[in-house]
Structure 1
Amino acid sequence: MLKKITPHDEALKKLLQTFFKEFIELFFPELDRLLDHRQTRFHMQELLVDIVGHESRELDLLLETKYTELDAYVLIHFEPQSYRDADFHERMFIYFGRLFERHRKEHKLIIPIAIFTADDVKDEPDSVTMEIPGHEILRFQFLKVELRNQNWRQFIQSDNPVAAALL
């Protein structure tokens, strides 16, 4: 399936580029405490190529920041998703695998985050697992924000610019 680019996907990417720290602070406060936002820099558009399938995709947003627990730089991959895609969780795993392959020498951790904006998106799968009886072979799970599932009343008094923009 070809990627649909919608105006609000672009607006969300601009919001994340401008207010990355505030977004993390709002939706992932436990992660926020582990990041040194003074060390954040955005990567150029990253192209991921599938040699077997002859397909290439550009990641929506990739940034590097300092993770204080590891005293190392980590990658954070944001993927806004504005339409329902039954295979989205598998695509996130593929993106993760390609990022890991390309950046594993420089970055000890890759944090994938999906942001679902579609009206009909609820309880989207956020993991890929593979197992045989008695043994889990793989468990991949990404962080997610389903904007339509947020209780926005809790953010009304917030001075966070991301909360204000998304209200």
Structure 2
Amino acid sequence: MTKASTDLDNPWKDVIELYFEDFMQFFFPKIHELIDWNQPCEFLDKELQKVVRDATMKKRLVDKLVKVWLKEDNTAQLLYIHIEIQGQKDENFAQRVFIYYYRLYDRYGPNVISLAILGDTQSDWRPKRYRYSLAGFEISCTFPIIKLLDYKKKWKSLEKSTNPFSIVVRTHLKALETRDSNQKRLYWKKKLFKALYEANYSEQEILELFRFLDWVMALPEELEKRFNDFSAQHEEEKGMPYVTSIERFGIQKGILEQARKSVVDALRIRFKRVPQSLVKMLQSIEDAKLLSDLLKQAILADSIKTFKQGLENK
């Protein structure tokens, strides 16, 4: 049986941006209290790429950099929060945090802090300090860390919490726990899906948190079908068909993407080279029936020019 696949780092980046205030309140409540949440937060991920680019580092991008405003009673007005999400043990992790920190410090000044979420399976791996000394010179950098494995002992309190990250953490832990068992993963995916509805989240929150759940707890096709049947039945009983509608949208989107690809492939088989401008035109089509007709034309057309003229006349 194929092991359940798990992508943990990327889903975290998305959910942090969606629920940043909840993230800070859940994991770093003392820092949360310093921030003026009436002011907008700004995510600086794109700008960050230039700041931390380094050919000697395996991982070149900081996961998140967020600019926030502090409350008026603080000396500083702005704070830059650098967040690292680490899903695997890495002996150079503390050094990397330090390197990114001083590069951010060099660009933004002293109001930069680094935080780390450790989502690995090694309970004794807890890097929170980087130290270096040579010939009387010494430097030390200590940063707050959150070890997600620690929440296994807090499961009951997670079940009672309405913070979105209570379900995010439970999903993460069960994704790790079920890596070698698709059947166990199916069981926990169902259980966590039900928990979304029991926590009184809004429709939008359920959809967004389900995307995290669905991404992190991926299943083989056969078991995914069983989960989809379960979720549809559960939503029908609850009278809240939120996720089912999203699944239908996803299926339709997949059909359109495949139809577009089939047209382009047919043109490449017939004429070898397909202009990028024509590919873009095809990618913008949202009508499955039209794409079906275009596939027939791609097979029968005597030239790319003839096909394109026919498309422009549609």
Runs of 4+ off more than 3 Å: 53-56
Name the counterpart of 2:113: 111
**Residue 146 of structure 1 aligns to which amino acid in structure 2?**
K
Name the counterpart of 1:127: 129
Query: Residues of 2 paired with 1:56 and 1:8: CA distance?
Result: 15
Query: Residues of 1 paired with 2:89 and 2:57: CA distance?
Result: 24
TM-score, structure 2 normalization: 0.46
Is the Cα contact below 8 Å between 1:49 and 1:56 reproduced in 2?
Answer: no
Higher strand share: 1
Query: Residues of 1 paired with 2:45 and 2:27: CA distance?
Result: 24
SS of residue matched to 1:120: coil
Between the two proteins, the alignment pairs up a number of residues equal to 157
**Residue 91 of structure 1 aligns to which amino acid in structure 2?**
R
Name the counterpart of 1:57: 60
Structure 1 unaligned spans of 5+: 1-5
Using CA pairs below 8 Å that are at least 6 residues apart, which structure has the higher relative contact order? 1
Query: Residues of 2 paired with 1:57 and 1:118: CA distance?
Result: 19
Is the Cα contact below 8 Å between 2:76 and 2:111 reproduced in 1?
Answer: no
Query: Residues of 2 paired with 1:49 and 1:88: CA distance?
Result: 16
Name the counterpart of 1:78: 83
Deviation at 1:163, TM superposition (A): 1.0
Deviation at 1:130, TM superposition (A): 3.8
Deviation at 1:120, TM superposition (A): 2.0
TM-score, structure 1 normalization: 0.82
Equivalent residues in 2 for 1:5-154, closer than 5 Å: 7-39=7-39, 40-45=41-46, 46-47=48-49, 48-50=52-54, 53=56, 57-68=60-71, 69-104=74-109, 108-130=110-132, 137-150=138-151, 151-154=154-157
Larger Rg: 2
Query: Residues of 1 paired with 2:137 and 2:156: CA distance?
Result: 40
Which whole-Å deviations, capped at 9, do the CAs of 1:60-111 have from their partners, x for residues lacking one? 111100122234111011111011101101110000011111111xxx4111
SS of residue matched to 1:58: coil
SS of residue matched to 1:119: coil
SS of residue matched to 2:60: strand
SS of residue matched to 1:148: helix
Deviation at 1:124, TM superposition (A): 1.3
Is the Cα contact below 8 Å between 2:89 and 2:125 reproduced in 1?
Answer: no
SS of residue matched to 1:83: coil
RMSD: 2.4
Higher helix share: 2
